[in-house]
């Protein structure tokens, strides 16, 4: 099958349409209907109930889950993929919700959940809509439907929350690729994969940002120390720059993974500190160069 493009999926979501997103065949190998939470209607919920058949969930960014004071459904989660369900919800009766089970009630509950004006007391727990806590960093942190929904909504310029519902086959089993392709053709829906969304984000987004810079006098001369933050995992990395490296060729560069015991305390159990000192000395003698100091274990 020729899959649709991520750009098509983003445009469809922005227009209030459904898209189908499949995860990897070596993961859950399932496909979900996804739409933007803030644009969901009763008719769309009814379509999910009657045509898709899976559990209707609303994928929320982690800060929204915290704002609404939604506790995890279970403190221990043995699920292999760590799907982060919270307590289920209904909007309170003042929003026109009755039992909570109807398509109208569920659509209302979802829109209330993503309304910035909503406070925890506007929701009733033990309801008919199942919130999911997405990972900060989206599909670059977890390649799941939850994160795909929040990423797609954000990329569409909408509130970063999506409604997801697994597509089932006629026999009640989870639909696999052939049935998902058929479903997409029958309903004229854009069909993409989580892998496509990962590739799209890596290609189009700037994920590392400079956050600070200062002069650093050392035993090997004065360097510039530049701090960077990775938006995906929130790790902070440092570049130590000596001399003018802009436009230069054959610049000496060392990639150095941080090692507190070796770099700071000069442990004899590793040679990390010696390697760092040697690199700084070589670069200083050369007159220019860079040390990229990574916030990660190197061994």
Does one domain contain both 138 and 260? no
Full DSSP string of the chain = -----HHHHHHHHHTT--EEEE--TTTT--EEEEEEGGG--HHHHHHIIIIIEEEEEEEE-HHHHHHTT--BS-SS---TT---BB--EEE-GGGT-SSS-SHHHHHHHHHHHH-TT--GGGEEES-SBEEEEPPTTGGGT--SHHHHHHHHHHHTTS-S-EEEEEEB-TTSSBP-HHHHHHHHHHHT-EEEEHHHHHHHHHHH---EEEEEEEEEEETTEEEEEEEEEETTT--EEEEEEES--TT-SS-EEEEEE--IIIIIT--TT-SHHHHHHHHHHHHHHHT-EEEEEESS---
Q: How many domains does the chain have?
A: 2
Residues 22 and 137 in one domain: yes
Over the chain, what is the mean pLDDT? Answer: 94
Task: Give the pLDDT means over successive 10-residue stretches in the chain (299 positions).
Answer: 88 98 80 98 98 98 98 78 91 98 99 98 98 95 96 98 97 93 96 96 92 96 95 89 92 94 90 94 96 83
Looking at the fold, whether 62 and 120 belong to one and the same domain comes out as yes
154 and 213 assigned to the same domain: no
Is 48 inside a domain boundary?
Answer: yes
pLDDT at 266: 87
- Indicate whether 91 and 171 sit together in one domain: yes
Same domain, 106 and 215: no
Residue 52 lies in a domain: yes
The model's pLDDT over 147-190, given as tens digits with 9 standing for 90+, comes to 999 999 999 999 999 999 999 999 999 999 999 999 999 999 99
| Among 176, 204, 232, residue at a domain's last position | 204
pLDDT in the model for residue 247: 86
249 lies in the same domain as 277:
yes
Specify the pTM.
Answer: 0.81
The domain boundary, picked from 153, 174, 204, lies at: 204
Determine the pLDDT at residue 74: 86
- Parent domain of 135: 6-204
Verify that 142 and 290 share a domain, yes or no. Answer: no
């Amino acid at each position: 099958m020729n899959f649709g493009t991520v750009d098509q999926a983003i445009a469809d979501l922005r227009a209030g349409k459904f898209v189908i997103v499949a995860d990897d065949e070596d993961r859950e190998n399932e496909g979900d209907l996804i739409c933007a939470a803030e644009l969901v209607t009763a008719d769309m919920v009814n379509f999910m109930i009657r045509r898709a058949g899976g559990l209707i969930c609303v994928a929320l960014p982690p800060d929204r889950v915290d704002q609404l004071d939604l506790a995890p459904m279970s403190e221990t989660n043995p699920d292999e993929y760590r799907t982060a369900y919270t307590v289920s919800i209904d909007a309170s009766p003042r929003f026109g919700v009755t039992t909570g089970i109807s398509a109208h009630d569920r659509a209302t509950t979802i829109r209330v959940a993503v309304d910035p004006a909503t406070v925890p007391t506007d929701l009733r727990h033990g309801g008919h809509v199942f919130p999911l806590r997405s990972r900060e960093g989206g599909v670059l942190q977890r390649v799941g439907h939850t994160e795909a929904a929040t990423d797609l909504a954000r990329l569409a310029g909408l509130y970063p929350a999506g409604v997801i519902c697994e597509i089932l086959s006629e026999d009640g089993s989870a639909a696999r690729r052939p049935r998902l392709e058929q479903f997409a053709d029958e309903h004229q829906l854009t069909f993409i994969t989580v892998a496509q969304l990962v590739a799209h984000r890596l290609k189009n987004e700037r994920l590392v940002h400079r956050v600070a810079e200062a002069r650093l006098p050392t035993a090997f001369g004065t360097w510039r120390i530049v701090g960077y933050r990775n938006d995906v995992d929130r790790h902070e990395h440092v570049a130590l720059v000596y001399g003018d490296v802009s436009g230069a060729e054959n610049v000496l560069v060392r990639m150095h993974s941080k090692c507190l015991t070796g770099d700071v305390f000069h442990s004899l159990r590793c040679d990390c500190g010696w390697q760092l000192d040697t690199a700084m000395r070589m670069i200083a003698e050369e007159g220019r160069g860079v040390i990229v100091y990574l916030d990660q274990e190197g061994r």
